[in-house]
Structure 1
Amino acid sequence: MLQVLACGVVVFPGLFFAFRRILPSIFKQWTDADVVLVSERLVSSIHAVMATTVGCIVVASCRGNVVNDRHWLAPYFVIWYGVPYMAYDLYAMYLSHYYRFQVKGHEDYKRHSLRTVNSFVRKEFLLVLHHIALLTVLLPVTLFFRKDQGDFFVGCLFLTELSTPFVSLGKILIQLSLQDCRLHKANGGMVLLTFFACRIALFPYMYWMYGRHHGIPLYGVPFHLSLAANLGNCCILAPQVYWFVLLCRKGFRLYQRSRCRGDAPSPTRSATAAVTDNTKGE
């Protein structure tokens, strides 16, 4: 019973509901859209801290033999927390989208309908596709197709969540009108660093570790892996590269625009604003 109560099916919606109750009593001027957005970001950060912690434990435990070493947290976290979180987050993202447009006075958003759901899917297609792919690919691969191998690499994938708390913090600071503080500028640097290191550079690192285990050079690893493994990694990596390019381009534009107005902020500050518009982190 305690295990059921502690699993992600209960924990993440429960936290989301609690934040939606608590935040309006603290920030009375906030709209429903503000409350839902910050609640979603807080829950995302909590999940990210959990996933990163589990990833560090699994990676540290399986470094000796990256293919055959096992750790019980690798499949357990995916089943009990990863999959429930992805399903919950789709719903939370839809609510955030719904209330954001409702506050703006859109006629279609007076009530929930298939039209509002369709609008959400079209506007957030890449994020929705990313979540659905993890639900339909990550779970069966973790449970059935790995042949009890590769816990190290599952742990590495958990580490991709490291950037999420910084992305969420940037959005929350903007929500609190603290975008001019030093914390926001420093957070922008952490967004760039963690996003690149844990969502892009992590994939060459996993290939290098695999090659070291088998005694083959990095450039030969793709030819040693199956086509399905390479395609799966590309499908996960591609949107990360796309989001990172968007954040860099938009951050640069914001920085240039501010310089033209005679108010040149730190590039990292502009990057934080950009990333909170373009991605959630994972």
Structure 2
Amino acid sequence: MELTISKLQMRHHRVMMCVLTAFNVSALAAAINLVLVLDPEDRISVRRGAVLTALGLVYFVSLFELINVAALLTGAGARWRRRHRLSCGDVLDISNKLVSAVQAAFSCVTGAVVCAWSCTRDLMRTSHFMSEAYAWFGAAYFFYDIWSMYMVYVHMTTNSEYFRSKLRRASKPDALSAGDGAPAPRRPSFLAYCRHEPVILMHHLFIGGFGFLVIVHLRGGLGDCVFGFVYLMELSTPFVSLRGVLSRLRLKRSRAYVLNGLAMLLAFLLCRVLALPYACLLYARAAGLSYADALRSLPAGCKLSIGALLLPQLYWFYLMSAGAVKVLRAREPPTSAEPAAGDADKRS
């Protein structure tokens, strides 16, 4: 009977993966087919954009669920989880980061196409449909990600509460008489998650809402060369995601973690710290002004937007650089004049 149930479960999981794969591939193919018929400087209608948003939601949700099913409900996934001692919350967090990396790849492709088209023509007026098309499609990611991060939070919280409750019961003298099971932890509410992660929640709502409106409706007919550079700012995200995945896999001391960290710093410097100043340089050349005069000529709203985008990147780059220095120092063997880190910890 157990063998029959196991076969039925395996068949059910294979069917589930096939269905999720079909939804995922179909959503992406339909979105591509929806925009391939457009000329480069066509605009995206509201109706077409709404369909792109719906397809984006199907794509990102199905990709997240497909990765989870493969990791949680297959034999290979079970072996992988045992090897790295991963909880269900760890798996969902890894899935979330992998989907984030995929979204960043799409964003970078969009940015490269937009920059290659718009920045080499009329910097201020030329637009490419990819800019608006991915604004509609990619907006769905930020709202999906709120749900995805909430699911990660739920499983990470319930896992930790479950093990803490088991430890509390095991420490009592009558633990055996009370039974081996631990009480099921209560599922945290979405409002509890919002209170726990207010910054990332506001970031997603701001980018998915206001950022979308700027690209689609509020740019006042201006070209999208600068928006192409904003899309390219996502180049560092796959490296940030990979760092999180390696951390979940307990590989912080591996060479891959160090190399990925250095690549992340380089990508962050190029695409998040230097990208917007370079876009301003292109504007200065197109306007025939010096760099300082070009910055002074920008409207106040543009200056505030550039500052709001650039200043956090400088702060995050400082934090990432400081963290990289700590990691590299930790990997250096202590000299004879310096005690090992473990000895210092013991004395403190």
For the criterion TM > 0.5, the same-fold answer is: yes
Q: Judge conservation of contact 1:97–1:120 (CA < 8 Å) in 2.
A: no
**Unmatched segments (≥5 aa) in structure 2:** 1-26, 32-50, 166-183, 342-348
Q: Judge conservation of contact 1:33–1:103 (CA < 8 Å) in 2.
A: yes
- The residue matched to 1:68 in structure 2 has which SS? coil
The equivalent residue for 1:48 is 104
- The whole-number CA distance in structure 2 between the counterparts of 1:41 and 1:182 is 20
- 1:258 deviation in Å? 5.4
Q: Judge conservation of contact 1:94–1:120 (CA < 8 Å) in 2.
A: no
Q: Judge conservation of contact 2:262–2:324 (CA < 8 Å) in 1.
A: no
1:75 correspondence with 2:148: no
- 1:96 deviation in Å? 2.2
Give the TM-score normalised by structure 2: 0.68
- The whole-number CA distance in structure 1 between the counterparts of 2:274 and 2:302 is 17
- The whole-number CA distance in structure 1 between the counterparts of 2:196 and 2:328 is 30
- Identical residues among aligned pairs (%): 27
- The whole-number CA distance in structure 1 between the counterparts of 2:101 and 2:291 is 33
- The whole-number CA distance in structure 2 between the counterparts of 1:183 and 1:254 is 13
1:141 correspondence with 2:217: no
**Unmatched segments (≥5 aa) in structure 1:** 264-282
The equivalent residue for 2:63 is 15
The equivalent residue for 2:197 is 121
Say which of 305, 311, 318 aligns to 1:238: 311
- The whole-number CA distance in structure 1 between the counterparts of 2:290 and 2:185 is 55
Q: Judge conservation of contact 1:98–1:109 (CA < 8 Å) in 2.
A: no
- 1:257 deviation in Å? 5.1
- Structure 1 residues 132, 221: closer, same or farther in 2, change over 3 A? farther
Say how many residue pairs are matched. 259
- The whole-number CA distance in structure 2 between the counterparts of 1:242 and 1:102 is 33
- 1:98 deviation in Å? 3.0
- 1:9 deviation in Å? 1.2
Q: CA RMSD of the aligned region, Å? A: 2.5
- The residue matched to 1:110 in structure 2 has which SS? coil
Q: Judge conservation of contact 2:104–2:235 (CA < 8 Å) in 1.
A: yes
Q: Which residue identity is paired with 1:45? A: A
The equivalent residue for 2:263 is 190
The equivalent residue for 2:95 is 39
Higher RCO (CA < 8 A, seq sep 6+): 1
Q: Which residue identity is paired with 1:65? A: D
- 1:33 deviation in Å? 1.0
Give the TM-score normalised by structure 1: 0.83
Q: Which residue identity is paired with 2:321? A: C
Q: Which residue identity is paired with 2:106? A: M
Q: Judge conservation of contact 2:96–2:149 (CA < 8 Å) in 1.
A: yes
- The whole-number CA distance in structure 2 between the counterparts of 1:253 and 1:76 is 41
Q: Which residue identity is paired with 1:175? A: R
1:151 correspondence with 2:208: no
Q: Judge conservation of contact 2:261–2:324 (CA < 8 Å) in 1.
A: no
- 1:255 deviation in Å? 4.1
- The whole-number CA distance in structure 2 between the counterparts of 1:79 and 1:166 is 25
- The whole-number CA distance in structure 2 between the counterparts of 1:43 and 1:75 is 21
Greater gyration radius: 2
1:165 correspondence with 2:238: yes
- Structure 1 residues 98, 244: closer, same or farther in 2, change over 3 A? farther
Alignment of 1:182-221 (within 5 A): 182-221=255-294
- The whole-number CA distance in structure 1 between the counterparts of 2:322 and 2:257 is 19
